A = this chain, B = another copy of it.
């Protein structure tokens, strides 16, 4: 399908005539504007024209690059999340160290690259509007949720295979890792409704605590059967 030249392209050809550069940059600017607005107002409430205006182009141009609002959203998801799993998978494939360190590292980089960025708003958005846009929900599950779970599964399996983790039910363990991440994303993007003041939650600390809790649950203790 039509996901246009991604951020990767920018690295390939660094020098260009200004006009040409802008042209090449169009999709990226549109995706950035779309990400901003989708996160800020949701999918349904974001008007196509607003995206175009924020990207500095006209309404028509948006539809030149993305055949519909839904495809635009999918492209945003791929740019921000789905398209980065090959990179992330490779990074973790090459990881050397204990599986506990690997899991901690995973949660940390997740926070840096997703949790604390606008991209986390996309997950919140899908939780809010997924039911109204089944095709988007399915796409998100396929391109983000599944690869994410698979990555975690490989980390956990590595730990078990190496005898570092207890032989727990992996699906259940995945959820233990994912739950605090999801909670953080929701809290970050929706807290204003439920608390009057500012959220007194320190995400890094919260995440570190949850990581240790999970790791404790995964630890091989006396009496466990290998």
In the complex, residue of chain B having the shortest beta-carbon distance to the beta carbon of A195 = B175
Given A175-B201, A179-B187, A145 contacting B196 (CB threshold 8 A): yes
In the complex, residue of chain B having the shortest beta-carbon distance to the beta carbon of A130 = B193
- Interface residue from B124, B128, B196, B200 paired with A42 (Cβ < 8 Å): B128
Q: Would you list which residues of chain A between 169 and 217 have a CB under 8 Å from chain B?
A: 171-172, 175, 178-179, 182-183, 186-187, 189-190, 192-197, 199-201
Can you list 29 pairs linking A and B with CB atoms under 8 Å apart? A40-B131, A41-B131, A42-B131, A42-B132, A44-B45, A45-B132, A124-B128, A126-B190, A126-B193, A127-B186, A127-B189, A127-B194, A131-B192, A137-B192, A141-B196, A145-B194, A145-B195, A171-B197, A171-B200, A172-B200, A175-B199, A175-B200, A175-B201, A178-B194, A182-B187, A183-B183, A183-B186, A183-B187, A186-B186
